[in-house]
């Protein structure tokens, strides 16, 4: 079943086009990483999906028009922006009471179960908790909501690496199942590489790459080239080239791996390396067209 489907999705603020004719499809039970630089249109696209902003084009989320049917949609959708946004004056027990009061799908016993694994006291106010504890509390509240779609916009901003890892481990082990769908945007792409099932790059309001992680692994390969084979490797048309500690690393799309193996050491690229390559090529093409 399709969870999110958009055709020609467009959103402009005055003369600034934030989302520019986007087509996308996210199947149920997938974890999509939406990756893009600041100002690329990620948050605007998420706001359209969540029914927070009107848009042009066609958009269906869980079979509904999010702008026209936002109240119904929100029964099946959960959203986290930055985990550090809970009111600082609220007590943990009051936060539980509040979510229980506003969300019909909130399972209080489940939230209590998550909190029991932490050192968080029910009587503590949010301002008395460490940043890591606030993240744990936020996660406990969200993961106790039986939502079909979870949208995460830079969810681990400002957290140290230990809590970021815990966040994604909890998400995978305690929350995700094949009936739920998760859409996540983040700048810390290296931490979600092994979490995702699907990948999408957005730049200047347009989708510039969309693939499953299976396709990512079969299509792209990096080669640390032996110096005497550099000319031969470049002749095979890499999509990107970079230098690391004096070694040349070339990134290839749909190349013959046996041929490449004779020229250097092969490895799976990181999402971050592919992102730099794709966006670098997009920018170069845009500059070329401008001339």
Q: What is the CATH number of the domain that holds 55?
A: 3.40.50.300
Residues 252 and 223: their CA atoms lie apart, in Å, by: 8
Residues 183 and 234 in one domain: no
Among candidate residues 153, 181, 204, the one where a domain is terminated: 204
- Tell whether 151 and 32 lie within a shared domain: yes
Q: Which residues contact 211 (CB under 8 A, 6 or more apart)?
A: 198, 199, 219
Distance CA 84, CA 89 (A): 13
Q: Which two tokens stand for residue 67?
A: 């702008």
One domain, residues 75 and 196:
yes
167 falls within a domain: yes
Q: Would residue 43 count as lying in a domain?
A: yes
Domain shared by 29 and 170, yes or no: yes
| Predicted TM-score (pTM) of this structure | 0.88
Tens digit of pLDDT for each residue in 74-90? 889 988 876 557 889 99
- Across the chain, mean pLDDT equals 89
Split into its structural domains, the chain has a count of: 2
Select from 167, 184, 204 the last residue of a domain: 204
* Statement to judge: residues 106 and 48 lie in one domain: yes
Q: SS3 of 196, please?
A: coil
pLDDT (0 to 100) of residue 54: 95
Residues 50 and 185 in one domain: yes
In a domain, 155, yes or no: yes
Q: With contact defined as beta carbons under 8 Å apart, do 32 and 182 qualify? A: yes
Phi-psi region of 264 (alpha: psi -120 to 50; beta: other; left: phi over 0): left
Q: Closest Cα partner for 45 from 2, 4, 1, 3? A: 4
Residues 140, 267 within the same domain: no
Contact call for residues 7 and 167 (beta carbons, < 8 A): no
Q: Would you state the pLDDT for residue 182?
A: 94
**What is the helix (H) or strand (E) element at residue 283, kind and residue range?**
helix 271-290
Does residue 38 share a domain with residue 177? yes
Same-domain check for residues 42 and 185: yes
Q: In what order do the strands lie in the sheet with 240-244?
A: 240-244, 247-253, 220-225, 264-267
Alpha carbon distances (Å) from 113 to 96, 100, 129, 141, 232: 12, 15, 19, 11, 59
Verify that 279 and 157 share a domain, yes or no. no
What's the mean pLDDT in 61-81?
91
Q: Residue 180 belongs to what domain range?
A: 2-204
Q: Which of 154, 176, 204 is the last residue of a domain?
A: 204
Based on the fold, state whether residues 227 and 139 are members of the same structural domain: no
Q: Residue 154 above 90 pLDDT?
A: no
Q: Which of 12-21, 22-31, 233-242, 278-287 is the least confident region? A: 278-287
What angle is formed at CA 236 by the lines to CA 230 and CA 242, rounded to 5 degrees?
50
For residues 181 and 285, the model is more confident at 181
* Residue 39 tokens, joined: 């100002």
Q: What DSSP line would sit under 111-153, residue for residue?
A: HHHHHHTS---TT-BGGGS-HHHHHHHHHHHHHTB--SEEEEE
| 222 shares a domain with 161 | no
**Higher-confidence position of 259 and 139:** 259
Which burial class, exposed, middle or buried, applies to 34 when counting CB atoms under 10 A from its CB (0-12, 13-18, 19+)? buried
């Amino acid at each position: 079943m399709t969870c999110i489907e958009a055709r020609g999705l467009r959103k402009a603020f005055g003369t600034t086009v934030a989302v520019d004719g986007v087509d996308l499809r996210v199947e149920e039970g997938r974890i999509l990483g939406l990756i893009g630089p600041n100002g690329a249109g990620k948050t605007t696209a998420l706001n359209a999906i969540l029914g927070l902003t009107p848009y042009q084009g066609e958009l269906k989320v869980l079979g509904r028009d999010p702008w026209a049917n936002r109240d119904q949609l929100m029964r099946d959708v959960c959203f986290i922006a930055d985990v550090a946004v809970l009111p600082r004056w609220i007590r943990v027990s009051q936060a539980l009471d509040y979510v229980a009061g506003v969300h019909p799908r909130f399972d209080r016993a489940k939230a209590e179960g998550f909190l029991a694994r932490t050192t968080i006291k029910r009587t503590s106010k949010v301002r008395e908790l460490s940043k890591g504890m606030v993240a744990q509390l936020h996660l406990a509240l969200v993961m106790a909501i039986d939502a079909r779609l979870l949208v995460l916009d830079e969810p681990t901003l400002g957290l140290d690496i230990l809590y970021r890892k815990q966040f994604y481990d909890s998400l995978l082990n305690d929350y995700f199942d094949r009936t739920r769908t998760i859409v996540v945007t983040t700048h810390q792409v290296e931490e979600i590489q092994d979490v995702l099932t699907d990948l999408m790059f957005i730049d200047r309001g347009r989708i510039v790459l969309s693939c499953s992680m299976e396709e990512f692994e079969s299509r792209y390969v990096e080669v640390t080239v032996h110096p005497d084979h550099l000319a031969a490797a470049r002749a095979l048309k890499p999509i990107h080239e970079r230098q690391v500690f004096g070694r040349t690393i070339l990134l290839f799309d749909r190349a013959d791996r046996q041929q490449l193996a004779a020229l250097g050491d092969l490895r799976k690229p990181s999402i971050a390396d592919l992102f730099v390559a794709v966006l670098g090529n997009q920018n170069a093409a845009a500059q070329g067209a401008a001339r």
